[in-house]
Structure 1
């Protein structure tokens, strides 16, 4: 199991490194450019605002992990939730936030990595003025999927400093 987790982490690190290649001065860059597909628009009560999801990788659970590209429109965010097996976030574009319950929100931008321990109640999403994208890796999915708790209120969201 530990070897599978290490292999997954190495793969994701290489994937992020490949995304952070420097552009030549003659190339133009769009703010929302990504090497990953944006995916399908989600219709879920577990998110506030417009969010797209593109699941990636095999559908079986041989790795005990699932991962996908999640893109948030400005102000969009997850509800408060936790993961029995933990979660990793690899930020690929834009500006956003991660907040564990009872802690201050942490600003995020491309290249940041968030390690979320098992069963930590948290949320993540876009800043008010930026689209935001990350690769979300749910670990040890054989222990269960996300546990959804409730929305991040507008008051909680706008109070981020």
Structure 2
């Protein structure tokens, strides 16, 4: 997809290519910091087929608010959830999970987190192409 098409996935600013976290993603994503006062809010846009690795938020959870396209969310040991605009996902601390776009459509969500001293992300193994292609 070209940048212009990605800018139309949601009404939020697309931002820059997410190169800082690229080692933890399969495919290309974009990140726009919308707020960093009390609650961090970022718009994350995934190109079709892009997804992040399994990961764990230690010390603080995260809330995803889906704002465009269709995507996937999955917690370890549970089935995948298809996401659409308007869906909200609460991710409790210490839950291993991943999220990203469906294979043929871009996806955008707002990621909200409360900064907590000592909180961190643990990046784990990628979601393999074989696992991803099985999603329906």
Task: Classify the TM-score, shorter chain.
Answer: 0.7 to 0.9
In the TM superposition, 1:120-131 aligns within 5 A as 120-131=95-106
Q: Is 1:152 matched up with 2:96?
A: no
In the TM superposition, 1:2-151 aligns within 5 A as 32-43=8-19, 44-58=22-36, 63=38, 65-84=39-58, 85-151=60-126
Higher strand share: 2
| Structure 1 stretches lacking a partner, 5+ long | 1-29
Give the superposed CA RMSD.
1.8
Runs of 4+ more than 6 Å apart = none
Residues 52 and 95 of structure 1, relative CA distance in 2, 3 Å threshold: same
Q: Is the 8 A contact 2:28 2:50 kept in 1?
A: yes
TM-score between both structures, scaled by the size of structure 2: 0.87
Query: What SS does the corresponding residue of 1:141 show, helix, strand or coil?
Result: coil
Higher helix share: 1
TM-score between both structures, scaled by the size of structure 1: 0.74
CA distance in 2, matches of 1:145, 1:138: 11
Query: What SS does the corresponding residue of 1:137 show, helix, strand or coil?
Result: strand
If asked which structure has higher relative contact order (CA below 8 Å, sep 6+), I would say: 2
